[in-house]
Amino acid sequence: MKIRVFGTGCAPCKTMLQNVQTAVAELGIGAEIEHVTRVQAMLDAGITGTPTLVVDGEVKSVGKALEVPALKALLTSCQAERSK
């Protein structure tokens, strides 16, 4: 699973990254987590708001830092979809 958190370093972006790391650790899943901070990379990816969460190339959240329980539910759902 590849998880990308897009954000320039603002407080919500840092919170999203920390929450993603916590959720992945608590779930014990193998995931590559990337924090994308370069504005040009965001523009190239079509990101219009931050923080943005992208899982396996699909935008899952824009404009808010998700809490750990919500992230765990989302990532569990993404894993189930990958298993089909």
> Where in the sequence numbering do the catalytic residues fall?
10, 13
- Cα–Cα distance, 35 to 22 (Å, whole number): 14
Token pair for 42:
């965001």
Instruction: Please state the length of the chain.
Output: 84
Cβ contacts of 46 within 8 Å, gap of 6 or more: none
Pure H helices in 28-67? 39-44
